[in-house]
Amino acid sequence: EFENGGGNTSALGIVRDTYTIPAGDVDPSQPPHAQHIAFYEGQWWAGGRVYNKGAHVGNNTRFNDNQKVILEYDSYKGTLMFFVGGKQQPDYISGIKEKVRFIVFLYLAGSSCLIRSLKKLAAPTSGHVANEQAVQW
pLDDT band at 14 (very low <50, low <70, confident <90, very high): very high
CATH number of the domain located at residue range(s) 2-136 in this protein = 2.60.120
Confidence bin at 43 (pLDDT 50/70/90): confident
The span from the CA of 99 to the CA of 85, in Å, is 28
What is the reported pLDDT for 37? 97
3-state secondary structure of 14: strand
pTM higher than 0.85: yes
The domain locations on the chain are 2-136
Arithmetic mean of pLDDT over the chain: 90
CB atoms within 10 A of CB 102: 13
- Terminal Cα distance for the chain, rounded: 25
Contacts of 23 (CB under 8 A, 6+ apart): none
- The residue-averaged pLDDT of 101-115 equals 87
